[in-house]
Chain A
Protein backbone atom coordinates (compact mmCIF):
# COMPACT_ATOMS: atom_id res chain seq x y z
CA UNK A 1 0.00 0.00 0.00
CA UNK A 2 1.54 3.32 -1.02
CA UNK A 3 -0.92 5.61 0.77
CA UNK A 4 -0.27 7.93 3.71
CA UNK A 5 0.52 6.01 6.87
CA UNK A 6 0.38 7.19 10.46
CA UNK A 7 1.72 5.64 13.62
CA UNK A 8 0.57 4.85 16.16
CA UNK A 9 -3.11 4.49 15.30
CA UNK A 10 -4.12 4.90 18.90
CA UNK A 11 -2.37 6.49 21.85
CA UNK A 12 -3.56 6.71 25.43
CA UNK A 13 -1.53 8.86 27.76
CA UNK A 14 -1.79 10.55 31.10
CA UNK A 15 -2.09 14.29 31.43
CA UNK A 16 1.29 15.96 31.52
CA UNK A 17 3.09 13.34 29.45
CA UNK A 18 4.70 14.01 26.08
CA UNK A 19 3.58 12.17 22.95
CA UNK A 20 4.95 11.96 19.43
CA UNK A 21 3.14 10.91 16.28
CA UNK A 22 4.65 9.97 12.95
CA UNK A 23 3.35 10.46 9.43
CA UNK A 24 4.80 8.88 6.31
CA UNK A 25 3.46 10.66 3.22
CA UNK A 26 3.06 9.26 -0.24
CA UNK A 27 6.50 8.94 -1.77
CA UNK A 28 7.65 12.08 -3.58
CA UNK A 29 4.79 14.22 -2.29
CA UNK A 30 6.36 17.54 -1.41
CA UNK A 31 3.59 18.94 0.80
CA UNK A 32 2.61 17.48 4.12
CA UNK A 33 -0.25 18.70 6.31
CA UNK A 34 -1.38 18.10 9.88
CA UNK A 35 -4.98 18.47 11.01
CA UNK A 36 -6.82 17.81 14.26
CA UNK A 37 -10.37 16.55 14.50
CA UNK A 38 -12.57 16.38 17.58
CA UNK A 39 -15.78 14.40 17.81
CA UNK A 40 -18.55 15.73 15.63
CA UNK A 41 -16.41 18.44 14.04
CA UNK A 42 -14.62 18.73 10.75
CA UNK A 43 -10.82 18.58 10.70
CA UNK A 44 -8.98 21.74 11.75
CA UNK A 45 -5.74 22.77 10.08
CA UNK A 46 -2.63 22.79 12.27
CA UNK A 47 0.39 23.21 10.02
CA UNK A 48 1.94 22.27 6.72
CA UNK A 49 5.33 21.73 5.15
CA UNK A 50 6.71 22.06 1.69
CA UNK A 51 9.64 19.69 1.63
CA UNK A 52 11.38 20.35 4.96
CA UNK A 53 10.17 23.96 5.34
CA UNK A 54 7.25 24.64 7.66
CA UNK A 55 5.26 27.22 5.69
CA UNK A 56 2.23 27.89 7.86
CA UNK A 57 1.13 27.27 11.43
CA UNK A 58 -2.36 27.72 12.81
CA UNK A 59 -2.90 29.64 16.02
CA UNK A 60 -4.26 26.31 17.28
CA UNK A 61 -0.65 25.13 17.33
CA UNK A 62 0.33 26.30 20.81
CA UNK A 63 3.91 26.30 22.02
CA UNK A 64 3.32 22.81 23.43
CA UNK A 65 3.04 21.52 19.87
CA UNK A 66 5.97 21.11 17.53
CA UNK A 67 6.13 19.56 14.10
CA UNK A 68 9.14 18.63 12.04
CA UNK A 69 9.81 17.19 8.65
CA UNK A 70 13.52 16.45 8.46
CA UNK A 71 14.82 15.77 4.98
CA UNK A 72 11.41 16.45 3.54
CA UNK A 73 10.15 12.92 3.96
CA UNK A 74 8.30 11.70 7.06
CA UNK A 75 7.01 14.13 9.66
CA UNK A 76 6.57 14.04 13.42
CA UNK A 77 4.12 15.94 15.58
CA UNK A 78 5.02 16.22 19.24
CA UNK A 79 2.74 17.40 22.01
CA UNK A 80 4.43 18.29 25.28
CA UNK A 81 2.69 18.32 28.65
CA UNK A 82 -0.52 16.92 27.22
CA UNK A 83 -3.86 18.21 28.46
CA UNK A 84 -7.26 16.56 28.31
CA UNK A 85 -8.27 19.08 25.67
CA UNK A 86 -5.64 17.61 23.36
CA UNK A 87 -7.72 14.44 23.02
CA UNK A 88 -8.59 14.23 19.34
CA UNK A 89 -7.85 12.49 16.07
CA UNK A 90 -4.67 13.81 14.48
CA UNK A 91 -4.75 13.52 10.71
CA UNK A 92 -1.88 13.78 8.27
CA UNK A 93 -2.23 14.45 4.56
CA UNK A 94 0.15 14.87 1.65
CA UNK A 95 0.00 16.30 -1.83
CA UNK A 96 2.20 16.93 -4.83
CA UNK A 97 2.23 20.68 -5.36
CA UNK A 98 3.58 21.22 -8.84
CA UNK A 99 2.30 23.21 -11.78
CA UNK A 100 -0.42 21.19 -13.42
CA UNK A 101 -0.40 18.68 -10.61
CA UNK A 102 -3.41 17.36 -8.79
CA UNK A 103 -4.97 19.58 -6.14
CA UNK A 104 -5.88 16.54 -4.14
CA UNK A 105 -4.74 15.98 -0.57
CA UNK A 106 -4.43 12.34 0.41
CA UNK A 107 -5.20 11.66 4.04
CA UNK A 108 -3.89 9.00 6.34
CA UNK A 109 -6.09 7.03 8.77
CA UNK A 110 -5.19 9.28 11.68
CA UNK A 111 -3.83 8.81 15.20
CA UNK A 112 -6.45 8.89 17.92
CA UNK A 113 -5.09 10.46 21.10
CA UNK A 114 -6.80 10.03 24.45
CA UNK A 115 -5.45 12.02 27.38
CA UNK A 116 -6.60 10.73 30.76
Chain B
Protein backbone atom coordinates (compact mmCIF):
# COMPACT_ATOMS: atom_id res chain seq x y z
CA UNK B 1 0.00 0.00 0.00
CA UNK B 2 1.52 3.22 -1.24
CA UNK B 3 2.09 5.91 1.33
CA UNK B 4 3.05 8.54 -1.23
CA UNK B 5 1.70 9.68 -4.59
CA UNK B 6 3.92 11.27 -7.22
CA UNK B 7 3.36 12.20 -10.86
CA UNK B 8 4.93 9.56 -13.12
CA UNK B 9 6.96 12.02 -15.14
CA UNK B 10 7.84 15.64 -15.67
CA UNK B 11 10.12 17.68 -17.89
CA UNK B 12 12.26 20.62 -16.88
CA UNK B 13 14.37 23.07 -18.85
CA UNK B 14 18.04 23.24 -18.01
CA UNK B 15 18.81 26.14 -15.68
CA UNK B 16 15.26 26.44 -14.45
CA UNK B 17 13.93 25.32 -11.08
CA UNK B 18 12.35 21.89 -10.94
CA UNK B 19 9.48 21.52 -8.48
CA UNK B 20 8.60 17.91 -7.71
CA UNK B 21 5.36 17.35 -5.82
CA UNK B 22 4.57 14.50 -3.45
CA UNK B 23 1.31 13.71 -1.72
CA UNK B 24 1.43 11.88 1.61
CA UNK B 25 -2.00 12.57 3.04
CA UNK B 26 -1.90 9.68 5.53
CA UNK B 27 1.45 10.61 7.05
CA UNK B 28 1.74 10.14 10.81
CA UNK B 29 3.09 12.73 13.18
CA UNK B 30 6.36 10.89 13.72
CA UNK B 31 7.06 10.02 10.07
CA UNK B 32 9.79 11.77 8.16
CA UNK B 33 9.68 12.69 4.47
CA UNK B 34 12.72 11.53 2.51
CA UNK B 35 13.76 12.11 -1.06
CA UNK B 36 16.12 9.90 -3.02
CA UNK B 37 16.94 9.88 -6.70
CA UNK B 38 18.21 7.21 -9.05
CA UNK B 39 20.18 8.06 -12.12
CA UNK B 40 20.00 5.44 -14.84
CA UNK B 41 22.05 2.30 -14.09
CA UNK B 42 23.10 3.55 -10.66
CA UNK B 43 21.92 2.90 -7.11
CA UNK B 44 19.61 5.41 -5.43
CA UNK B 45 21.18 8.52 -3.91
CA UNK B 46 19.96 10.37 -0.82
CA UNK B 47 18.90 13.97 -1.44
CA UNK B 48 17.25 15.41 1.65
CA UNK B 49 14.78 14.67 4.44
CA UNK B 50 12.55 16.58 6.85
CA UNK B 51 9.92 16.22 9.53
CA UNK B 52 8.01 19.49 9.85
CA UNK B 53 10.29 22.35 8.91
CA UNK B 54 11.50 23.23 5.46
CA UNK B 55 15.01 22.00 4.78
CA UNK B 56 17.77 23.05 2.40
CA UNK B 57 21.12 21.54 1.53
CA UNK B 58 23.60 21.79 -1.30
CA UNK B 59 21.45 19.63 -3.56
CA UNK B 60 17.88 20.76 -3.02
CA UNK B 61 15.21 22.33 -0.86
CA UNK B 62 12.30 20.50 0.75
CA UNK B 63 9.09 22.36 1.39
CA UNK B 64 6.57 20.57 3.66
CA UNK B 65 3.05 21.95 3.98
CA UNK B 66 1.84 22.96 7.41
CA UNK B 67 -0.57 20.02 7.60
CA UNK B 68 2.29 17.76 6.37
CA UNK B 69 0.02 16.11 3.83
CA UNK B 70 2.21 17.07 0.90
CA UNK B 71 5.69 18.28 0.11
CA UNK B 72 7.70 19.67 -2.78
CA UNK B 73 11.30 18.97 -3.66
CA UNK B 74 12.93 21.90 -5.37
CA UNK B 75 16.02 21.60 -7.55
CA UNK B 76 16.93 25.30 -7.86
CA UNK B 77 18.88 25.20 -11.11
CA UNK B 78 18.33 21.93 -12.93
CA UNK B 79 21.17 20.53 -14.99
CA UNK B 80 21.24 17.66 -17.46
CA UNK B 81 22.84 15.53 -14.73
CA UNK B 82 19.66 15.89 -12.67
CA UNK B 83 17.80 13.65 -15.12
CA UNK B 84 16.75 10.75 -12.89
CA UNK B 85 13.84 9.04 -11.14
CA UNK B 86 13.00 10.88 -7.93
CA UNK B 87 11.44 8.99 -5.04
CA UNK B 88 9.46 10.51 -2.18
CA UNK B 89 9.37 8.21 0.87
CA UNK B 90 7.81 8.48 4.32
CA UNK B 91 9.26 6.48 7.19
CA UNK B 92 9.22 6.33 10.96
CA UNK B 93 12.45 4.51 11.65
CA UNK B 94 15.28 6.80 10.56
CA UNK B 95 17.58 3.84 10.08
CA UNK B 96 15.13 1.20 8.93
CA UNK B 97 14.10 0.07 5.48
CA UNK B 98 13.14 2.41 2.68
CA UNK B 99 9.83 1.74 0.92
CA UNK B 100 10.10 3.08 -2.61
CA UNK B 101 7.16 3.75 -4.88
CA UNK B 102 7.39 4.21 -8.63
CA UNK B 103 8.78 7.74 -8.33
CA UNK B 104 8.79 10.60 -10.82
CA UNK B 105 10.93 10.38 -13.95
CA UNK B 106 12.43 13.83 -14.39
CA UNK B 107 13.96 14.70 -17.73
CA UNK B 108 15.99 17.89 -17.93
CA UNK B 109 16.22 19.20 -21.47
CA UNK B 110 18.71 21.68 -22.94
State the main secondary structure of chain B at its contact with A. Answer: loop
* Contacting residue for A42 out of B42, B94, B95, B101, CB 8 A: B101
Total residues of chain B contacting the partner, CB 8 A: 21
A-binding segment of B18-26, B43-51, B63-71, B76-84? B43-51
B residues less than 8 Å from A109 (CB atoms): 41-43
Interface residue count for A (Cβ, 8 Å)?
26
- The verdict on B28 contacting chain A, using a C-beta distance below 8 Å, is no
Chosen A-B contacts, 25 in total, with CB atoms closer than 8 Å, are: A33-B98, A35-B98, A42-B85, A42-B100, A42-B101, A44-B100, A45-B99, A48-B96, A58-B97, A91-B43, A91-B44, A93-B44, A95-B95, A97-B94, A97-B95, A103-B46, A103-B49, A103-B95, A104-B46, A105-B98, A107-B42, A107-B45, A108-B43, A109-B41, A109-B43
Taking Cβ atoms with an 8 Å cutoff, the residues of A that contact B are 4, 31, 33, 35, 40-45, 48, 56, 58, 91, 93, 95, 97, 101, 103-110
- Could you list 16 further interchain pairs (A-B, Cβ under 8 angstroms) beyond the known A42-B102, A56-B97? A4-B43, A40-B102, A41-B102, A42-B103, A43-B98, A43-B100, A44-B100, A95-B95, A97-B95, A101-B95, A103-B32, A103-B94, A105-B46, A105-B98, A109-B42, A110-B43
